[in-house]
Amino acid sequence: MEGKRRKDQWTPEDDEKLAEIVITAVQNGRTQLEAFAEAAEVLGRTKQACGFRWNKTLRQQYGQMLNSVRKRPKQLMRSHLKLALNSFDELTEAYNELELKYRELQTEHDKVLKWLQQGAVFIEQQQKQQQ
């Protein structure tokens, strides 16, 4: 009877794979439920079985690691948010500078057009006088 094993018994390899999937998912900002669904596909079990195994057995073993990776996404999100805000500020500043340059060029363009129109009128008058 000692050699008899349940068909659906969890192996240490299954436990390690489940823990790896859950920790990686949480570290990447996903939920445990999403991790259980992924683990179910990988391990050939239901997501409920994976969730039960995690909560009943493995959470105690991997709880500290899970808590430490939970903090990382927030830190990453903060740094990404700071970077995005800095980038937005830089883009806003660059846009404002471009808008100012555009207005200056538009003014110059208008001056050149007026000068050309005056030149064309002057040339027409000169031609009429020569005739």
Per-residue pLDDT of the chain (131 residues; tens, 9 = 90+): 455 556 679 999 999 999 999 988 888 888 899 999 999 999 999 999 999 999 998 988 888 888 877 776 556 666 667 777 888 888 899 999 999 999 999 999 999 999 999 999 999 999 989 87
- Which pLDDT does position 1 carry in this prediction? 43
- Which pLDDT does position 74 carry in this prediction? 59
Residues 6+ apart with CB under 8 A from 69: 23, 26, 27
- Which pLDDT does position 4 carry in this prediction? 57
- Nearest to residue 69, comparing CAs of 16, 26, 38, 19? 26
- Tell me which residue has tokens 């129109």: 117
- Which pLDDT does position 7 carry in this prediction? 67
The four Cα atoms 18, 19, 25, 31 give a dihedral, to 10 degrees, of: 80
- Which pLDDT does position 102 carry in this prediction? 96
- Which pLDDT does position 73 carry in this prediction? 59
